[in-house]
Amino acid sequence: MTQHYAPGTHPDLPPPSNTVGPIHWLRVNLFSSIPNTIVSLIAIYLLIISVPAAIDWLFFKATYVGESRNDCARDGACWAFISERFQLFVYGFYPQAERWRVDLSAVLLGVAIAAVLWQNMPGRKWGLIFAAIYPFLAGWLLTGGMGLTPVDTNDFGGVMLTVVIGITGIAFSLPIGILLALGRQSDLPIIKYFSIGFIEFIRGVPLITLLFVASTMLSYFLPPGSNFDLLLRVLIMVTLFASAYMAEVIRGGLQALPKGQKEAADSLGLNYWQAMRLIILPQALTISIPGIVNTFIGLYKDTSLVVIIGLLDVLGVGRASVSDTAWVGLSTEVYLFVAVFFFITCFGMARYSLFLENKLNTGHKH
Amino acid sequence: MSETQTNANNDICIQIQDMHKWYGEFHVLKDINLEVCKGEKIVVCGPSGSGKSTMIRCINRLEEHQQGHIIVDGTELTNDLKNIDAVRSEVGMCFQHFNLFPHLTILENCTLAPIWVRKMPRKEAEEIAMHYLERVKIPDQAHKYPGQLSGGQQQRVAIARSLCMKPNIMLFDEPTSALDPEMIKEVLDTMVELANEGMTMICVTHEMGFAKQVADRVIFMDGGEIIEENNPTEFFDNPQHERTKLFLSQILGH
Ligand SMILES: Nc1ncnc2c1ncn2[C@@H]1O[C@H](COP(=O)(O)OP(=O)(O)OP(=O)(O)O)[C@@H](O)[C@H]1O
Ligand SMILES: [Mg+2]
């Protein structure tokens, strides 16, 4: 059956036909053995009975507009509630007249994120400078002052609050985490032990505890009468919390690099910060991307813990809405909505990280 | 005392005096004395663990010595970071495992230090880099990444990268011992060429053919001490010390 060729003349042949194609895929992946076949059949059966019913409830029998629970069909989802309250979900209690500032911040956030994520953006250098000042610009836009009507941070809520906490944590925890990771490896004992002490303390305490400290205890330490914004305290705590984890993720990346990289940089006369910025960190951060994005996602989802100290993020608004008497019994829809919101953003981050890993891996993988 | 001596004799570019080094309790370098003149080529050999790498790494302060003096081109190595940076920008080094920067292209590897340490304009740095890449015969690889090159090519890039800083002194720490036999020659050829142009070189290597061809002096180390030093002919034909004889019989024996 196999044909033989003289040495050195063997042509490239296509693979045998029974190793490619959909039938082959099914045979190998779903029906390769009797137990495998049984499991596959059970799984297919469960999908057939559950998926159409779920789709029916979610979409075909659902009600999309209405004034109260009574307008909704009984055997379908009641999205009318979400669309009624959509503004609340997005803006929280931000004053109606000032909501353009939230919208503007969101658009500018899009620009800043594009600059950070899109390597070939035209004028990326300016985009990155803009991204660096964006957190402060957005802080001014959202809280007001200096020509804008001040808005109390107690009025922040919903998606907007979640994004504010998440983006602040992400934007500041990476640089602080890098500094802590470098500090932990420092030759200077004070810097080294401060970094270790900070990281281990923060990692040893649950975030909720830190948030309680932020909401109650800090006022004992601060001079009486000083009014230190609750949201700002929460932002600081969330950022510090994520920084400690970030530092450990990055330390893993630093340790994975061969010692020779730093030695080569030293021998060429680069100083410490040049060696870190140009040689060590680009490689260590690339290795750490999965861990960094994992920490980002964890931080982003942890923002919903602020409900406990009375801030109403997406989940908080959802929970508050469930107790509305006009819309009783809608918790499934509300929590599904919140879950989908978190899933879309977190899944987006995860996909981007995969994309980035693949991109950075090409060209110089050993 | 040492300072005045160096300044008096302009020909000496590396001076190591009564130098000791410890790793914790372990006395790894014992009373090292060595003077290297401008343009001299020194080959250092000795059994594994004898302190060869440690000694040449002290010369650009990749390792710190605890006692004695090391003076390079009139600058004494102390804890003063300025002195260390000054010495490092004069002294190039090639490592056993090349230590190229894998996230940068060959060209970027070569231009990095001139741009950031010498503050050279990028264009000029690239011209110099291409000049040295041509000299080590790999200009056509300039836009590849290190991972795409063979070991011999990578080591030649590492040599070019060091040369781009226009060093007065080159240190080599077993530059060929991680290479397959057919690549050793291309690297040694590059080094011979460099030697013929008058570069001051200190080479840790077991390539005895190279030592015979270019070395002005061969230094034999064992147990952290310099046991014997001599010109290559004498060193190979007429070793003085028992340990040198034993070592030579081992590496030349097969
Ligand atoms: N960082 C370190 N800490 C402790 N001991 C070390 C360290 N680096 C090297 N040593 C020890 O110092 C001694 C000299 O090491 P060195 O690397 O200089 O030897 P070498 O002559 O270059 O050997 P080789 O031919 O194997 O490269 C060895 O015994 C080694 O185990
Ligand atoms: Mg060695």
Ligand 1 mean position to B233 CA, how many Å?
28
Range of the domain at A250: 88-94+151-360
CA distances A134 to A25, A105, A148, A161, B33, Å, are: 49, 9, 17, 16, 59
Beta bridge partners of B91: B169
Q: Which of residues 279-338 of A touch B (CB under 8 A)?
A: 279, 282-283, 286
In a domain? residue A293: yes
Ligand 1 mean position to B48 CA, how many Å?
8
The domain tally of chain A equals 2
**Residue A54: how many CB atoms within 10 A of its CB?**
10
CB contact, 8 Å: B154 with chain A? no
| pLDDT of chain A, 366 residues: tens digit per residue | 577 888 888 888 887 777 777 888 888 888 888 888 999 899 999 999 899 888 888 888 888 888 777 788 778 888 888 888 888 888 988 998 889 999 999 999 999 988 888 878 888 889 899 999 999 999 999 988 888 888 888 888 899 999 999 999 999 999 999 999 999 999 999 999 999 999 999 999 999 998 888 888 766 766 666 667 888 888 999 999 999 999 999 999 999 999 999 999 999 999 999 999 999 999 999 999 999 999 999 999 988 898 888 888 888 888 888 887 777 777 888 888 889 999 999 999 889 888 888 887 754 444
- Band (pLDDT 50/70/90 cuts) for residue B253 is low
Instruction: Locate A94 and state its tokens.
Output: 């931000």
Ligand 1 mean position to B55 CA, how many Å?
10
Ligand 1 mean position to B77 CA, how many Å?
21
Per-residue confidence (pLDDT) for residue B166, from 0 to 100: 94
| Same domain (yes/no): A178, A313 | yes
The answer, yes or no, to whether residue B88 has pLDDT greater than 90, is yes
A263 to B102: CB separation less than 8 angstroms, yes or no: no
Q: Which residues contact A102 (CB under 8 A, 6 or more apart)?
A: A90, A91, A94, A142, A160
In a domain? residue A330: yes
- Burial bucket for residue A89 (CB in 10 Å: 0-12, 13-18, 19+): buried
In a domain? residue A107: no
Q: Spell out where chain A has E strands.
A: none
B chain contacts of residue A262, beta-carbon cutoff 8 Å: none
Using CA atoms, how far apart are residues A271 and B232, in angstroms rounded to an integer?
Answer: 38
List, edge to edge, every strand of the sheet that includes B75-76: B26-37, B12-23, B67-72, B75-76
Through-space distance between the first and last CA atoms of chain B, rounded to whole angstroms = 47
Using CA atoms, how far apart are residues A104 and A67, in angstroms rounded to an integer?
Answer: 30
In a domain? residue A218: yes
A268 to B146: CB separation less than 8 angstroms, yes or no: no
Mean pLDDT score of chain B: 91
Q: What is the dihedral of CA B14, B176, B186, B60, to 10 degrees?
A: -30
Backbone angles phi, psi at B16, to 5 degrees: -115, 125
Counting from 1 in the atom list of ligand 1, the atom nearest the Cα of B224 is: 14
Label the pairing between strands B169-173 and B200-204.
parallel
Distance of CA B168 to the CA centre of its chain: 11
Using CA atoms, how far apart are residues B213 and B188, in angstroms rounded to an integer?
Answer: 11
- Band (pLDDT 50/70/90 cuts) for residue B145 is very high
The CATH number of residue A220's host domain is: 1.10.3720.10
| Same domain (yes/no): A52, A194 | no
Question: What ipTM goes with this model?
Answer: 0.91
| Same domain (yes/no): A49, A160 | no
In a domain? residue A4: no
CB contact, 8 Å: A259 with chain B? no
Distance of CA A149 to the CA centre of its chain: 31
To probe the interface with A, which of B82, B107, B116 has the most A CB atoms within 10 Å?
A: B116
Q: Which residues contact A133 (CB under 8 A, 6 or more apart)?
A: none
| Same domain (yes/no): A37, A160 | no
A260 to B117: CB separation less than 8 angstroms, yes or no: no
Q: Which residues have any ligand 1 atom within 6 Å of their CB?
A: B 23, 26, 28, 46, 48-54
Using CA atoms, how far apart are residues A159 and A164, in angstroms rounded to an integer?
Answer: 8
H or E, element range at A202: helix A189-203
**Residue A6: how many CB atoms within 10 A of its CB?**
6
| Same domain (yes/no): A211, A331 | yes
**Region for residue B63 given its phi and psi (left: phi exceeds 0; alpha: psi -120 to 50; beta: otherwise):** beta
Any idea which residue has 């080294």 for tokens?
A: A192
CB contact, 8 Å: A119 with chain B? no
Any idea which residue has 């046991």 for tokens?
A: B227
pLDDT in tens, B23-78: 999 999 999 999 999 999 999 999 999 999 999 999 999 999 999 999 999 899 99
CA distances B84 to B37, B72, B78, Å, are: 20, 10, 7
In a domain? residue A191: yes
Any idea which residue has 């007429």 for tokens?
A: B238
Structure pTM?
Answer: 0.85
In a domain? residue A189: yes
| Same domain (yes/no): A47, A182 | no
In a domain? residue A276: yes
Q: What is the largest CA-CA distance in chain A?
A: 93
